[in-house]
Structure 1
Amino acid sequence: MSARELAEPYPFVSTDDDATDAALLLAEHHLPALLVVDSDDQPYAIVPGSQLVGQLVPEYALEDPVLGSVITDQELDEVPEKLTGLTVAEWLPRRRFQPPVVGPDAGVLQIAALMARAHSPLVAVVERDGDRTRLVGAVTAARLMQRLIGGS
């Protein structure tokens, strides 16, 4: 089975989109990661939700879990304010890795190995036509697991 056959439509955002809208997309669609494209609609980043959550947690809570246990509900109400006025590019973690990308003819094991090496819950599938690249969709870990071990 090829990447073209495994790929599913996957919501994405642009680096210039509003960070709050991107966070809502992630939450409302129960996405494992945010797929971000650049201004040319090329894969820019695939960021697991856990890393994006980490961008919202106060630094002291990340450094010392005991301090994190004293966060009040009032402080949690201030979390959405951290995104106000930010673009997706500004919200993303500073350390950004090249997103895992395959062509439409990539095989199951090639996709699985790339996903495992990249520690990414999804792999973008792109199709090149001359000097243009088009996002076909994404292969999620859940979809790949279905193919590897069976199931509905």
Structure 2
Amino acid sequence: MPPVSRGTSESRGEDRWRIHFEPHLPYAYEALWPALTTPEGLRGWLAEAEVLERRLGGAVTLRRPPTGTVATGHVTAWDVERVVEYTLTGHERIRFHLEPVGTDSTVIRFVNERGGSESERLDCLAGWHEHFELLESALAGRPADWAAWTGAHRAALRGDYASPATA
């Protein structure tokens, strides 16, 4: 698979920003939707969904392996097989908008709007970049092995996003 395209960010005021990614994946949106909206799908690339009420206004509780960090919130947009948005503590608004390209590929228009420091912005860019790589791997039948996760790849991605040559 081609590498995940580099994410971008834009300032939304003091200590507020919006992260963008647009991965183009060689999978039909019917394959992607469950990966974004079911406990089984999310487990393979993002987090354990301890609570996931799959409807507008539904409750969400995600536990990030291997750290155990918990984020709670609600489903704040739900358009079946097109758009899902979660608003979560510590992550604020995360939105996935699926756009089919032909019959066997999909672009995910991803946005994460949140506040935080410059350091947190870089962490977020690197984190989502890695998660989209994990999503591609999970869709190819290789879900994340959280027990083997070390954070080294994310640290390298963060360094790349922090580098003035690539910023």
What range is the shorter-chain TM-score in?
A: under 0.3
Q: Which has the higher contact order (CA 8 A, sep 6+)?
A: 1
**TM-score (norm: length of structure 2):** 0.21
TM-score by length of 1: 0.22
Greater percentage in helix: 1
In terms of Rg, which structure is larger?
1
Give the structure with the higher percent strand: 2
